[in-house]
Chains A and B, each alone.
Chain A
Amino acid sequence: MNQSVFRLTLPILFGYLPLGMAFGVLFATQLEYPWWVAPVMGVVIYAGAGQILAVSLLAANAGLLEVFVAMFVLNARHLFYGLSLLGQFRGSGWRKLYLIFGLTDETYSLLTSRPRGTDRPHEQEIDFRITGFNQCYWVIGCALGALLGNNVVFDSTGIEFALVALFIVLTIEQFKALGDSFPIWTGAAAAGIAMLFLPPAHQLIGAIAIVTGALLVQYRRLRTTARSEEARHD
């Protein structure tokens, strides 16, 4: 079973090692903490973009409430991953907690797109191992990067752009999967409004609030048109 899980997770290995290393190098070059803190963050936090953001929050000595809000908002997309896995994880017993904990973008994409058989406990065991393998790659990447950043003279100025590039790539992927550019333009416009009118610390949460409001309006409009369509057919 482990061999087929390894084959399934191979693309994640190639993604997580360098991305984890980017975080590790960033961590070691920007902060004065011991190198092993980087893999520890990979074990207990386990969020790519979140950990890269955490480096700048640590460097800025951010307040703990600010840290909570920033991490929650940045990872808020995870709120919607669970919605499509409620049934799939049902009845997985003690494994369920770890399946939920390890629900990153990449693990989510593997768990929701791989072919499944009818043997539920067996499939959940595979899901469990996929999650575990992926986190191992991530933690190893974090450790390698932090060691490398500490021991190799390397000008890492600008490496944090990896996060921006990641968001651009994920936006394109979302657009391709959705086939609808409305949320993309709404998101960018909300960011623009928030950046114009709010101080940096409140821009993310402000933009998310604007976007959610816009989506609620869109939802109501779609419902009203659907209802009047129905009425016309009656």
Chain B
Amino acid sequence: MTENSYLVAFIAVAAIATFATRVIPFLFFERHTEHPLIKHLGRYLPAAVMALLATVFLQRSASWSASVPGLDALLPGILVVIIHLWRRNALLSIAAGTASYMVIQQSGILTG
């Protein structure tokens, strides 16, 4: 596959997958919205998925061969939690965490 046709196919697949997650409830659950199992999953699954995504991606952004393994990602992660609990401003929390992670990675203080 050439580079351009790969890009077009990639975007099409990504768009279809994303749209599928949004349209499926409207296609299949229009008649089952009151089912207790659907309600149970609708209530708890988003929180569980968010926590697992945070865990998996936090681990992937850490450097495990450093002197203190994982600290380079853990510190910015903790900073996000503290700032978010303090100000509860999503943008501020994300900016502070990202900036501190970038400083740590680019200076190499914790990753060397």
Inter-chain contacts of B97 with A (CB < 8 A) = 161-162, 164-165, 168
Contacts of B57 in A (CB 8 A): 163-164, 167
Q: B66 interface residue, CB < 8 Å from A?
A: no
One of A76, A86, A158 near B21 (C-beta < 8 A): A76
Most buried by B among A45, A49, A58, A192: A45
B1-42 to A contact mask, C-beta < 8 Å, 1/0: 000001101111111111111111110011001001110111
User: With A44-B11, A79-B24, A219-B40 known to touch, is A171 a contact of B45 (CB < 8 Å)?
Assistant: no
Task: Classify the interface of chain A: helix, strand, loop or mixed.
Answer: helix
A22 touches B (CB below 8 Å): yes
A81 near B61: Cβ-Cβ < 8 Å: no
Contacts of B10 in A (CB 8 A): 54, 57-58, 64, 67
Say yes or no for B67: interface residue by CB 8 A criterion: no
How far does the alpha carbon of A96 sit from the alpha carbon of B20 in the complex, in Å? Answer: 15
Q: Identify the closest chain A residue to B95 (Cβ).
A: A18
**Chain B window 77-109, contacts with chain A (Cβ cutoff 8 Å), 1 for yes, 0 for no:** 100110011000011011101100111111000
Within 8 Å by CB of A157, from B25, B46, B105, lies B105
Q: Is the CB of B98 within 8 A of A172?
A: no
CB-nearest residue of chain B to A178: B47
Q: Is the CB of A78 within 8 A of B21?
A: yes
The verdict on A169 contacting chain B, using a C-beta distance below 8 Å, is: yes
Question: How many residues of chain B get a CB closer than 8 Å to chain A's CBs?
Answer: 68
Contact A183 B11 (CB under 8 A): no
A219 smallest CB distance to B (angstroms):
5
Contacts of B56 in A (CB 8 A): 191, 194-195, 203-204, 207
Chain B CB within 10 Å, residue with most, of A50, A72, A171, A180: A171
Query: Could you tell me the dominant secondary structure of chain B's interface residues?
Result: helix
- Residue A110 CB within 8 A of the other chain: no
List the A side residues contacting B58 at CB < 8 Å: 164, 167-168
Q: Is the beta-carbon distance between A183 and B54 smaller than 8 angstroms?
A: no
Which residues of A are at the interface with B, using a C-beta cutoff of 8 A? 14-15, 18-19, 22, 33, 37, 40-41, 44-47, 49-51, 54, 57-58, 61, 64, 67-69, 71-72, 74-84, 86-87, 89, 96, 100-101, 103, 155-175, 178, 180, 182-188, 190-192, 194-195, 200, 203-204, 207-208, 211-212, 214-216, 218-219, 222-223
Give me the 9 closest cross-chain CB pairs, A-B, nearest first.
A82-B25, A187-B51, A191-B55, A187-B48, A158-B102, A174-B47, A165-B97, A71-B17, A161-B101
**Which B residues form the contact surface with A (CB < 8 A)?**
6-7, 9-26, 29-30, 33, 36-38, 40-61, 73, 76-77, 80-81, 84-85, 90-91, 93-95, 97-98, 101-106
